[in-house]
Amino acid sequence: MTVVAGVDLGGTAVNYTLITGDEKFLIEGLCEHPARSKEGPEICLQQIEDGLRIAVEKAGLGLEDVVVVGLDTPGPASSAGVLSAKGSTNFVHKDWAGFDIRDGLAQKLNKPVTYLNDGNAGALWGHFSLFGASNQATSISAIVGTGLGGGVIVENSVVKGRGGFGGECGHVLLPYQSIANVPGLVPHCNCGRTGDLESVCSLTAIEKNYLPYFFERYPDHELARLGDIHKAAKLVRGLAENGDPMCREIFRAQAHGLGLFFDEMINTFDPDALIVGGGAIETGAGFQAWFVSEIRAGMPEQREEQAGIPIYIMPNGDTAGARGAAIEALKTGRQGGLI
């Protein structure tokens, strides 16, 4: 049987999936192997190959059955998969600087390899889960984690951009002054901007911007008394889900920020779907539904056809990268007549 593999290279682990020509995933849940990326390209690429062999054997196949491999990694990297010459937090070894990881893996495996950054791979998985691999749909995904990642898929093609940062929605500026119930909040982002999406909607936003702001209003809150803002930030989601008023306000403000961003995307792309994923909404269905309704509430008044564009929750957060990478590779395999 011919299949396509998806390989998600994270900071510490490589996660694998396999997809068949009729769009069925052969691996349920996580299939991980240690990444060892700190030890440089040579060891890491060998790790990727070793883990891939284990993954295909688990599915009762051999490496020769894999006709295309889709790779995704954290950035910064070019759209073709050349890692930044300045290095990055996930690729600290000096040999990674300017390394063409897509080509390196293609040579190692002697197979065609496609490349996406992890945000775009996650977005493609969300898109596929709604529309399948053969469609002409347009979707915008926002993945709310430590930072804010995402992706823009226009008529089934991932917008990678000239330098590889297309669809990295986190640093798009918003009219944050119109977010309800946070007058005087001036949200700063690590990138240097004030009031971009990541500065109002991410775990970093909670730690850097919301908690210092809300602790002035709620000086006796249990998180203020904790005395460790980094730890406190991670507790906000759970407390919000349990109805804590301050933490609900923080999540409401994040949702409204996301609403402003989605409104900009609606006016730019007229998409078929808006998709939200990431750790922030790895919660019960009730909280997810509330969050989505608050995203909607944060949007300015829209024309009827704009207000009807659906907002979805992205499924299976943990495997999103590998699955998105596999879908990109499946498209390439089909174009090349390989599958």
Could you give the dihedral angle defined by the CA atoms of residues 179, 144, 133 and 111, in that order, rounded to the nearest 10 degrees? 140
Q: Would you say 196 or 207 has its CB closer to Zn ion?
A: 196
Q: Would you say 15 or 117 has its CB closer to Zn ion?
A: 117
Strand order in the sheet with 139-144: 157-158, 148-154, 139-144, 273-277, 311-313
Choose the binding region for Zn ion from 142-150, 183-191, 240-248, 317-325 (rule: CB under 5 A): 183-191
Give the Cα separation of 328 and 184 in Å (integer): 43
Q: Would you say 240 or 280 has its CB closer to Zn ion?
A: 280
* Residues between 145 and 174 with contacts to Zn ion, criterion CB under 5 A: 171
List, as one string, the DSSP characters of 154-206.
ETTEE---SSS-TT-GGG-B--GGGSTT-TT---B-TTS-BSBHHHHSSHHHI
Cα distance from N-terminal residue to C-terminal residue, the chain: 10
Give the Cα separation of 131 and 179 in Å (integer): 32
Choose the binding region for Zn ion from 113-121, 135-143, 181-189, 264-272 (rule: CB under 5 A): 181-189
Choose the binding region for Zn ion from 15-23, 174-182, 184-192, 238-246 (rule: CB under 5 A): 184-192
SS3 state at 17: strand
Q: Which residue's entry shows tokens 């207000």?
A: 307
189 in contact with Zn ion (CB under 5 A): yes
Residue 333 · residue 15 · CB < 8 Å = no
Of the candidate residues 191, 226, 289, 307, the single one contacting Zn ion (CB under 5 A): 191
Of the candidate residues 196, 207, 241, 272, the single one contacting Zn ion (CB under 5 A): 196
Tell me which DSSP letter residue 116 carries.
Answer: E
Residue 198: CB minimum distance to Zn ion, A: 5
Q: Would you say 109 or 205 has its CB closer to Zn ion?
A: 205
Residue 147: CB minimum distance to Zn ion, A: 8
Choose the binding region for Zn ion from 9-17, 149-157, 197-205, 218-226 (rule: CB under 5 A): 197-205
> Which residues bind to Zn ion, rule: CB under 5 A?
171, 189, 191, 193, 196, 198
